[in-house]
């Protein structure tokens, strides 16, 4: 569903990503883990078209999208839930959700997609008239995911979705991610909660200094002594 080939990314003259190759098959949850400043968010920005200085190929469903602007990547089905949610705080939950359906492909289905989103995230139906900025951090994260679902994605990119959340919302979020996969979504997730994501990921990549240094099945990596020492402190 998603293939990245020889991806290099730069901040000015500084190279952050070095020749990354990765794949995400249809219906998979794939995790991307690593220490701070490893280049995880830079990869997500590059995939979403928010970072213009990069080389390599990004292929979605067999079609190259690396030359497309960000909004066209959304229309093709690649949708990012950004770190720190990036909601419009003075707009209502419903207004934030409706903005997710701005593409021509999503607009005709907005009512049906909204009902599907409410079914997956019932709290959003209850909170739809509230301003997004008045919600708790966990509820705001649900709005951010709901907004992405309104775009009718094929591949959902989640960048640090549990950052700053209470433990109860961390569990709810990972349960939701599994539900989304069961509903047919393909998911690539960047996450600092290494243990949580590897428990649920079909496969995962470990990023270090902008390079992939390990890859494999999620639970197998969780049992790998090298990963325990380097990232879990065990």
Domain span holding position 22: 2-85+153-232
Residue 132 lies in a domain: no
pTM of the model: 0.92
Residue 114 lies in a domain: no
**pLDDT for position 122:** 92
**Radius of gyration of the CA atoms of the chain, in A:** 17
- Residue 212, beta-bridge partner list: 207
Spans in the chain with pLDDT lower than 70: 52, 229-234
**pLDDT for position 115:** 95
Residue 157 lies in a domain: yes
**pLDDT for position 116:** 93
Nearest to 82 by CA among 178, 161, 166: 161
Residue 115 lies in a domain: no
Residue 207 lies in a domain: yes
> Which tens digit of pLDDT belongs to each residue from 60-107?
999 999 999 999 999 999 999 988 888 999 999 999 999 999 888 888
Residue 213's CATH number: 3.40.50.300
**pLDDT for position 172:** 87
Q: Is 95 helix (H, G, I), strand (E, B) or coil?
A: helix
CA triple 95-101-104, angle to 5 deg: 140
End-to-end CA gap in the chain = 35
Residue 90 lies in a domain: no
Residue 127 lies in a domain: no
Total of domains in the chain: 1
Residue 106 lies in a domain: no
């Amino acid at each position: 569903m998603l293939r990245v080939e020889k991806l290099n990314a730069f901040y000015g003259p500084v190279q952050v990503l070095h020749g990354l190759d990765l794949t995400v098959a249809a219906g998979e949850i794939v995790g991307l883990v690593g220490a701070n400043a490893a280049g995880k968010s830079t990869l997500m920005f590059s995939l979403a078209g928010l970072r213009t200085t990069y080389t390599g190929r990004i292929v979605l469903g067999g079609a190259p999208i690396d030359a497309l602007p960000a909004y066209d990547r959304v229309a093709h089905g690649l949708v990012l839930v950004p770190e720190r949610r990036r909601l419009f705080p003075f707009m209502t939950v419903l207004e934030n959700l409706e903005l997710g359906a701005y593409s021509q492909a999503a607009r005709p289905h907005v009512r049906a997609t909204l009902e599907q989103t409410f079914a997956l995230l019932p709290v959003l139906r209850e909170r739809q008239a509230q301003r997004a900025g008045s919600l708790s951090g966990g509820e705001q994260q649900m709005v951010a995911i709901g907004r992405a679902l309104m775009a009718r994605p094929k591949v959902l990119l989640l960048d640090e979705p549990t950052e700053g959340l209470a433990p109860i919302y961390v569990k709810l979020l990972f349960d939701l991610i599994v539900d989304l996969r069961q509903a047919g979504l393909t998911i690539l997730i960047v996450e600092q909660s290494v243990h949580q994501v590897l428990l649920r990921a079909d496969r995962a990549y470990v990023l270090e200094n902008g390079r992939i240094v390990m890859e494999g099945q999620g639970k197998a990596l969780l049992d790998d002594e090298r990963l325990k020492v380097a990232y879990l402190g065990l």
